[in-house]
Chains A and B, each alone.
Chain A
Amino acid sequence: MRRKRLFTSMVSLVLIMGLLAGCSGNGNNGSSGNAPKPGEPSPSTSTGEPVKLKMWGGVPPESGPQEVINAWNKEHPDIQVEYVRFVNDDEGNLKLDTAMMTGQNVDLFINYTISQAGKRMESGLAADLSQFTDYNIDEKMGQDAKSWQIDGKYYGIPTTKSPFFVALNKDALDAAGLKVPKDWTWDELREYAKKLKSGDGYSFIQHTEPFVDPIDSILSQEGYTKPDGSSNLDHSQVKNWLEMLNVMMKEDQTTPPLGEQLTSKMPVEQEFLSGKVPMLNIGAWLLRSSNNFTDFPRDFKIAFAPVPRLTGSADEYVTRGGLGDYISINAKSKNQAAAWEFLKWYADGGMAPMAAGGRLPASKDADQDAALKSLLGDKSSTYDLDSLMYVMFDSKTPTYVRSLAQEVMDIRAQEYEKYFLGTSSVDDTIAAMVTRHNEYLKQNK
């Protein structure tokens, strides 16, 4: 009997231990993104234990980041950086936030929107960079950096130029006798689209990310709320935008109905690069695909036009873009000084290999020619360089960074989808947006 009891308690003990081990095992797996990387020099070359940094970013390692940190690690045996990729969507950002909240080693992280950066700042995760006095962000990055300040302070360095533009199939434009515009309105774009349309195909498509930018261009200046604190989503230009696009979808049939685009998850880059659709509203990340001739073979030249404006006057126009890739230092990191060293080096040109994916360094001290070379690679003959230089560097149009809360962006999107799908009239749509936005404002006073 006694032996039997001993046996049962042993068995249960083993089972419980197995269970606990199973749990902790999972925990370890969850946090391990640290497989040894090829090309990392062995730490034995340095004296003492090297500082190890982890940097979290959304770009796949092979599209630049790996090359960047390999270059750094070779020069700095005492500070070794490891790149961890998170996918820049809801799940990916949640993963990053959880990793930081639970104190896993995140030393540097890249914010892709200012609202995410703001949330992380409020939670005390993004270090206030004014504590470091040896780098003047305003001076290095120029006026556009200001839009990344949160409560007047920098909690990160905006590192890249992040232009948004309409990519054009130059060959198609030439065939139709159309010029590459340097300043245009949505009405003019609509005319272009009509002239470029052939058969059943579309002549203008939009990436869903900058889809709603025409509204933001206006509301970011005039305010998302009225002076009395209520929603400003009933601004006259909102209606103007909705009706203009709706006509393009339904009457002109030059751009796909939104319902079709969303539910078929239309691969807009592919549609454009295969030559099917001659105009695409997108941002700098197009270069990642357009430089990739293996997956996206292409036989035409790409030209670039600024994003058109809704309003009449070019002087008042503000376009989305400016700077991007806002890199913060984790306020809970033990290696903030080392992270700061790396960050400065990264911003001042260390990031050059990222240019192949469309990410040009924003710092005035970075070698722009080298970056441009890396951006175009051996493909420079397949781009219209004049218009490329214009949208990337020369355009003097002031810029804004979208800072709207995710909830409001979703409210807006859900309501305008109903309009574009024909289940709601334009006035009902705007009324619904305003009601829900006001409700949100009430909840989040």
Chain B
Amino acid sequence: MNNNWMRRQQLLGYIFIGPSMLGVLLFFLIPAAYSFGLMFTNYKFMNPKVEFVGLDNIVRLLQDPMFYLSLKNTLLFLLAVPVSIGLGFVVAVVLNQKIYLKKLLRGLYFMPYITSGVAVAFVWMLLFHPKQGPINGLLRSIGFDNPPGWLSTTTSSMFAIDIIWIWFLLGYNMIIYMAALQEVSPELLEAAKMDGAKRGQILRRIIWPLVSPTTFLLLITGLIMTIKTFGIIQAITQGGPGNSTTILSLFVYQNAFRYYDMGYASTISWALFIVILLITLVQWIGQKRWVHY
């Protein structure tokens, strides 16, 4: 009887996860396996001639300067994540105190995260306009004669995108940190104060280690989300000017849906997967040194 009941419970469990597993299977696992297969073919969308080409695509990828360039751009883009986490922490600590208009400020910081990406893109394009944009207008009025070209030069464009991305992620990081700060026990802070610790010391030695699991979570999810992002860059620069903002995900998109080169695009997406995997592994191993549970 008991055994029977167990089995029924198990069956019930499978039935409950069934629908979502079906979704994962249909929309993720099968396409992923399919793209793995495509990696070894020269399949071009619409072209009926498909041949098995062995490792040609991988060799081509490793010799393609565009691949290394987009890898470099991706790493530059990822810089935005730690910066945004740091700023998010600072903002959360400030807003966690008794200050005026706390709720309004909290809402304002969170706004970007819930705003449509395309709208965000267009607003920033106007702000960054090298001649008529308000940012450069301000810089000129306080004495910078040659303000940066932001999105309009190949050297600054990736950093301009970084700024947008930091601003975009900030609200989310802040909200998660605020929740984490609520968990920090007041006794510890009081005890530290009694022992004569200064504000900076409390922040660095007590609060920061205590929220480190949150930092770790934000870092991993932030990096993965950022590395997969492509909408905002597609909307703002389409990888330009030149190819200075072509990140890996955009490189995949261009090869797949602009050139219809599905075999090569699959190869790049698996390279992208390996990059994500490596970054996550490094963090997972590294966390032992600085994350305190």
Q: Which residues of A contact B (CB under 8 A)?
A: 1, 5, 8-9, 11-12, 15-16, 18-19, 23, 90-91, 94, 97, 101, 119-120, 122-125, 257-260, 262-265, 406-407, 410, 414-415, 417-418, 421-423, 443
Contacts and interface: CB of A to CB of B under 8 A. Distances in A.
Contacts of B130: 259-260, 263-264
A90 B131 contact: no
Contacts of B286: none
B241 A258 contact: yes
17 contacts: A1-B8, A12-B19, A16-B22, A18-B19, A19-B22, A19-B23, A120-B46, A259-B130, A259-B152, A260-B131, A263-B130, A263-B150, A264-B129, A415-B242, A417-B242, A421-B153, A422-B153
A97 B45 contact: yes
A265 to B, nearest CB: 7
Given A94-B257, A119-B46, A417 B240 contact: yes
A262 B19 contact: no
B152 A257 contact: yes
A206 to B, nearest CB: 16
Which of B12, B131, B152 has the largest count of A CB atoms less than 10 A from its CB?
Answer: B152
A125 B46 contact: yes
A331 B11 CA distance: 51
A101 B262 CA distance: 15
Interface string B10-27: 011001101100110010
Interface residues of B, number: 40
A406 B258 contact: yes
B168 interface: no
Contacts of B60: 443
A123 B43 CA distance: 12
Interface in B208-249: 236-237, 240-243
A257 B241 CA distance: 12
Nearest to B149: A259
Contacts of A123: 46-48
A90 B241 contact: no
B260 interface: yes
A97 B46 CA distance: 7
List the 3 closest A-B pairs by CB distance, nearest first.
A259-B152, A418-B242, A123-B46
A392 B22 CA distance: 59
A417 B46 contact: no
B287 interface: no
A91 B46 CA distance: 15
B125 interface: yes
Interface of B: 8, 11-12, 15-16, 18-19, 22-23, 26, 45-48, 60, 125-126, 128-131, 149-155, 157, 236-237, 240-243, 254, 257-260
A418 B16 CA distance: 55
Contacts of B257: 90-91, 94
B41 to A, nearest CB: 14
B64 to A, nearest CB: 8
Nearest to B261: A407
A337 to B, nearest CB: 25
A97 B152 CA distance: 33
A212 to B, nearest CB: 14
Contacts of B259: 406-407
Given A407-B259, A421-B153, A443-B60, A262 B46 contact: no
A417 B152 CA distance: 10
Contacts of A5: 8
Given A263-B125, A263-B128, A407-B259, A421 B154 contact: yes
A262 B152 contact: yes
Given A90-B258, A97-B46, A123-B47, A9 B131 contact: no
Nearest to A100: B46
B65 to A, nearest CB: 8
Nearest to A265: B125
Nearest to A98: B45
Contact of A414 (B19, B47, B149, B242): B242
Given A90-B257, A421-B154, 15 more contacts: A5-B8, A12-B16, A19-B22, A97-B260, A119-B46, A122-B46, A259-B241, A262-B237, A262-B241, A263-B151, A264-B129, A414-B243, A417-B240, A418-B241, A421-B153
B153 A124 contact: no
Contacts of A8: 11-12, 15
Given A259-B153, A421-B154, A423-B154, A124 B242 contact: no
A137 B192 CA distance: 90
B18 A262 contact: no
B19 A19 contact: yes
B149 to A, nearest CB: 6
Nearest to B44: A119
A123 B237 CA distance: 32
Contacts of B48: 123-124
Contacts of B47: 119, 122-123
A415 B242 CA distance: 6
A5 B11 CA distance: 10
Contacts of A18: 19
A363 B123 CA distance: 46
A321 B26 CA distance: 47
B155 A423 contact: yes
Nearest to A19: B19
A415 B65 CA distance: 13
Nearest to B126: A264
Which of A8, A11, A91, A260 has the largest count of B CB atoms less than 10 A from its CB?
Answer: A260
Contacts of A9: 15
Nearest to B46: A123
